[in-house]
Structure 1
């Protein structure tokens, strides 16, 4: 269900064929490529990462959107069981006839200064994204107009810190905002036939009602027992709930001592190896719409490992680098 190939084997249609054959993910072996990206995007100390920055700098770098997947710049999302990261996100475009990729946002604020990645690094990110996109499109079908997205996602080493950051984020909201957060948490618990949008909203509204709520919670418990996509092993904590990415693909690499990404295939969760030697490619819903490539359900967990800590560098420990296309 998880295939492997070398970066040199990426050619037009090669990923499309593997996903069409039923693969849930493809591991593209490319240690040299990942090393170059990692060095430029995470080890350049001239760049202040958002998890190292004052909150006001994050705010100045935030380019938000009502759609969580479309927000760019610096941001954080801490919603228990749904989202749990601090991130820096940027989008690259490459107009026909232009020699270089263009980044948005064009720079990041660092106190009284601005920072922008080197043009050669942006072009390298574009080249990797374009090659993956061409491999995802069926052979003979040139990739449609798209942007390459580059995301650096920081997760926490300690499981309790996710809860503390979630509480801090909720505390900044008004009374109705906090009520909405509580409703969302109930809504995300809806399983099986209750999980589609609309029905899950109704479940969230009614789950605490005196009589009907008790009945609904009982029904939902039965559905949870039958829903294998909700299974969580002992010692694991759900950080990013099961979801499809709204992009053509996501290619992941990183340094993740306590974090685990899983794909749902064949009625069970499968651990997805993510390291600094491969790009783990997962198709998203835009690939389904454009090419008929089936999108893949996936999630992110925190795994308790007593006595284990990260590699000693808080800048890069439990960080995921994502190259995608949208």
Structure 2
């Protein structure tokens, strides 16, 4: 269910053929390219990452949207079972008549100064994204207008730190905001026929209502036992619930000890290798709409480790780099 391909074999339509054959993801082998990408995005000491920054710098770099997936700049999103990361996100474009790649946001505030991403790095990210996009489009079908998204996502090393950040985020809300978070948690537990949008909202609203709530929770427990997409192994904790990315594709690499990404295929969850030698690529909903490529359900888990492991680098440990197209 997971195919492999060398970067030099990426050509127009090559990913489309593999996804069309039923593969849920493709591992594109490119250790040299990932190493250069990692150096530029994570190891430039002149750049302060948001998980190293004071909160006010994150706020100054936040370019928000009502849709969390469309937000840019620096942000943190902690909500149990839905999301749990600190991130830096950019969108790259090359409009008609423009000879170079343009990034949004164009710079990041660092205390009293600014950090501007190097043009060579932006060009490299664009080149990788463009090649993947051309390979995703069926042969003979040039990619339509698109942007390349570049995201750096930091996850926590311990379950306790996820809990603390969840509590901190929730405490900043008012009473109705906290009630909304509780409703979101309940609706995320809806399984089977109760899980579609609308029905899950209704389940979230009614699950705590006397009598009818107990009845609905009983039905949901039966549905949970039959829903293989809700299976979680002992020692694992759900950080990002099962979802489809809206973009054309997502390509992941990273350095992760406690985090695990899985794709759902053939009625079971399959671990997706995320490392610094490959780009793990899977399609999103825009590929389904544009090319008929089936989007892939995936999730992110935290894996409990016994004992203390070797001390790592807090800047790069449990960090994922995502290159995508939208």
Normalised by the length of structure 1, the TM-score is: 0.99
Tell me the residue number matched to 1:245. Answer: 245
Answer whether contact 1:310 1:317 (CA < 8 A) is retained. no
Distance 1:313 1:224 in 2: 39
Q: Secondary structure at the match of 1:129?
A: helix
Tell me the residue number matched to 1:272. Answer: 272
1:50 aligns with 2:77: no
After superposition, the C-alpha distances for 1:257-288 in whole angstroms (9 at most, x for unaligned) are 00000000000000000000000001000000
Distance 2:283 2:308 in 1: 32
Distance 1:192 1:174, change over 3 A: same
Matches within 5 A, 1:1-326: 1-309=1-309, 312-326=312-326
Distance 1:91 1:311, change over 3 A: farther
After superposition, the C-alpha distances for 1:43-100 in whole angstroms (9 at most, x for unaligned) are 0010000000000000000000011110000001100011000000000001133221
Distance 1:149 1:311 in 2: 31
In structure 2, stretches of 5+ residues that fail to align are none
Distance 1:295 1:311, change over 3 A: farther
After superposition, the C-alpha distances for 1:190-210 in whole angstroms (9 at most, x for unaligned) are 000000111111100110111
Q: Secondary structure at the match of 1:4?
A: strand
Distance 1:310 1:126, change over 3 A: farther
Answer whether contact 1:6 1:30 (CA < 8 A) is retained. yes
What RMSD over aligned residues (CA atoms) do the two structures have, in Å?
0.8
Distance 1:205 1:186 in 2: 8
Distance 1:310 1:93, change over 3 A: farther
Q: What is the CA distance between 1:11 and its match in structure 2?
A: 0.2
Q: Secondary structure at the match of 1:46?
A: coil
